[in-house]
Structure 1
Amino acid sequence: MATSIKDVAREAGVSIATVSRVLNDIDVVNEETKKKVVDAIKKLGYRPNIVARSLKTQRTKTIGILVPDISSQFYPEVVRGAEDVSNIYDYNVILCNSDFDGEKEKEYLKVLKEKMVDGVLYMSSSLQDETLDLINELDLKTVLVETKDKEGTLPSVIIDNVKATYDATKYLLDKGLKNIGYIGMEKEALNAWAERYNGYEKALKEANVKVDENLTFFKSLKANTGYEGINEILSSGKKLDGLVCGSDEVAMGAINALRDKGIKVPEDVKVIGFNNISVAELFYPKITTVAQPMYDMGSVAMRMLIKIINQKPIDQAHYVLEHELIERESCK
């Protein structure tokens, strides 16, 4: 027979109401009594009825995490940071993968609302107005990770993507390179990935180097985009001596395409990636990259969201974490 809340109360020598207060983390219970209840719960192996508890408290201790591409090495590391924090505070996680599909994102938001999640960590491939309107309509407590909405209405945890690719491009310019290409996401997209092109463009303009559209290619952050991009750039007949990529996967595809053309990295073309996923250091040549603090982005965002859920003040609404340019063999 399953253990009930009455059994816990009897074992701890307290009322059912006191056990309920401990389970719902209501502060009026003193530490000594709380310990008696917790010890009784452990001894009896009691597990509260989550459905009944959520109907009473309107809380499920569950958080939804929405990512655009779980196959990317970037997002699992962010999720790991978020989940580690959620475990500390006894929250469960529901993970949703949108596959870069805006309609799928909206459907998942509706599903998470139906599941009565307490909040959502939202990593979006595109922050369309109608999606933001849906978040407001559903009244979902939401923290953005990696991307910030244009009005800054939702709390967020990001890096300065413009500054990051500016630093990467300037690094190549300082090496005396002039024919620097860029391969990444469409520059018109409403997300952090599009901002990376802006940093590249800004660095070139400051150095009085003409931005040559023949040296740019926009599609996705996958490795095949890097491969296709190099073939497209080289087919224009333009000289290429440096390349900034929107992700490490793009850099890997680009390096493979250059290798297939008999072009050496870094001797002929120096290549910089973005994110610092683990494979970047194992690839040949090891990839110079802009490192995002992936784990910290997830953990900071989750701490912020849990504070918001519990109606506690947050130190700031928008966190901009530090990036780092890591030099490896692809630029030496």
Structure 2
Amino acid sequence: MSAQPKSPVTLKDVAIATGVHFSTVSRALNPATRTLVKPQIAARIVETARSLGYRPNSLASSLRTKRSGVVGVVVPDMASLLFPPILEGIEHNLLKEGYMTIVANSANDPERHRRILAGMMERQVDGLIIASATLRDPILDEWLQGPAPIVLMNRTDEFGRAPAVLSDDIRGIGLAVRHLTGLGHRHIGHIAGPASLSTGAARLNGFLLACAELSIPEAKRPVVTAESFSREEGRKACITLLAQNPGLTAIVAANDMIALGCYDVFAQQGIVCPRDVSITGYNDSPFMDVVSPPLSTVRIHQRDMGLEASRILLARIAGEDMPGDILLRPQFIARQSTAAP
């Protein structure tokens, strides 16, 4: 005869085992309220709960508190090397407060984005961090007045309808342009990201502003727009840029993947970097220091972006007003893909 399954351990069982009140056990086992309990008592309760095999009943807790304890995060490209450090920063803060995350990939598809947000709202997430917004994003209109607060990350929308955590892209691209002009380059092209995204638009604006400030003639600062922030679209844009500008000595790519697409073109066309053409990227994604040549790029503080986005979201969940955006200061990292012309 098979053994009967054990009944689940309850908060009452933990309270009896530790000799403290039920409400004290409840506070001690909730990361968001644990600080209300004396540290030595909280530690004893946590250890007792662990030894008894106590597992919180999330469904019961949700019914009682009207909160799911879950935050949704939407990214535009799950395969991008940009997002793992950002997601680690998000989880670092959320886990401390007892929240779990659901991460979904919009794949830059508006209909898929809409379905993901609808599904997360149906599951009653307590908040959303969205890294997949476009400048004129009609999908945001459907959810901004909903019960779950929203924070935008890495990208923002044209109207500033939700707080956003961003890298200062205008400053960042300016750092790349100034690095190249400091080496002596005066014919610098830009491969821009999609104009429908705040990152593409801001980095293009930063390129044009820096070139104007440095008195680079309009004819010597050509721009080609890539259809996406991908290696393949970077390759296509690079072919066009080089064909149209035979005297070009440097390229400012709107992100690292576009720069890697340029590396592919250099290899195909026998162009030696940086002897023939220098190039800079943007983001300082993982492994950009081990490609050949190691890529000079603009470093954005990815983990800090996740930390800030989750901090703001937690404040909004708690009912605090968090107006305005946060701009993180980027840093230029010089490596071996840039040299004097």
Superposed pair shares fold, TM > 0.5: yes
Q: Are the equivalent residues in 2 in contact too, given 1:183–1:225 (CA < 8 A)? A: no
Q: Give the direction of change, closer, same or farther, for the CA distance of 1:158–1:3 in structure 2 (3 Å limit).
A: same
Unaligned runs of 5+ in 1: none
Match of 1:11 in 2: 17
Shift, 1:152, TM fit: 2.8
- Partner SS, residue 105 of structure 1: helix
Aligned equivalent of 1:242, options 239, 250, 267: 250
Shift, 1:37, TM fit: 3.8
Unaligned runs of 5+ in 2: 1-5
> Amino acid of the residue matched to residue 122 of structure 1?
I
Aligned equivalent of 2:201, options 189, 194, 197: 194
Seq. identity, %: 29
Aligned equivalents of 2:22 and 2:274: distance in 1? Answer: 70
> What do residues 145-181 of structure 1 show as CA deviations (whole Å, max 9, x unaligned)?
1123333332221111111112212322233322211
Q: 4+ residue stretches of structure 1 with deviation over 6 A?
A: none
Q: Are the equivalent residues in 2 in contact too, given 1:102–1:126 (CA < 8 A)? A: no
Match of 1:323 in 2: 330
Aligned equivalents of 1:88 and 1:218: distance in 2? Answer: 40
Aligned equivalents of 1:294 and 1:39: distance in 2? Answer: 35
Q: Give the direction of change, closer, same or farther, for the CA distance of 1:86–1:27 in structure 2 (3 Å limit).
A: closer
Of stretches 239-248 and 317-326 in structure 1, the one that deviates more from structure 2 is: 317-326
Are 2:262 and 1:254 equivalent residues in the alignment?
A: yes
Q: Are the equivalent residues in 2 in contact too, given 1:288–1:327 (CA < 8 A)? A: yes
Shift, 1:255, TM fit: 2.0
Aligned equivalents of 1:98 and 1:176: distance in 2? Answer: 41
Shift, 1:244, TM fit: 0.4
- Partner SS, residue 135 of structure 1: coil
Match of 2:286 in 1: 278
Shift, 1:73, TM fit: 0.3
Aligned equivalent of 1:203, options 192, 203, 210: 210
- Partner SS, residue 190 of structure 2: strand
Q: Give the direction of change, closer, same or farther, for the CA distance of 1:29–1:328 in structure 2 (3 Å limit).
A: closer
Question: How many pairs are equivalent?
Answer: 330
Aligned equivalents of 1:100 and 1:159: distance in 2? Answer: 20
Aligned equivalents of 1:190 and 1:280: distance in 2? Answer: 23
Are 2:48 and 1:40 equivalent residues in the alignment?
A: yes
Match of 2:150 in 1: 142
Aligned equivalent of 2:118, options 94, 100, 110: 110
Q: Give the direction of change, closer, same or farther, for the CA distance of 1:237–1:154 in structure 2 (3 Å limit).
A: closer
TM-score with structure 1 length normalisation?
0.90
Of stretches 215-224 and 10-19 in structure 1, the one that deviates more from structure 2 is: 10-19
Q: Give the direction of change, closer, same or farther, for the CA distance of 1:17–1:124 in structure 2 (3 Å limit).
A: same
> What do residues 295-328 of structure 1 show as CA deviations (whole Å, max 9, x unaligned)?
11111211222232233576x7422111011111
Shift, 1:33, TM fit: 5.6
Shift, 1:137, TM fit: 3.4
Q: Are the equivalent residues in 2 in contact too, given 1:215–1:240 (CA < 8 A)? A: no
Q: Are the equivalent residues in 2 in contact too, given 1:166–1:199 (CA < 8 A)? A: yes
Q: Are the equivalent residues in 1 in contact too, given 2:226–2:234 (CA < 8 A)? A: no
Q: Are the equivalent residues in 2 in contact too, given 1:126–1:191 (CA < 8 A)? A: yes
Aligned equivalents of 2:320 and 2:78: distance in 1? Answer: 31
Match of 2:271 in 1: 263
Match of 2:192 in 1: 184
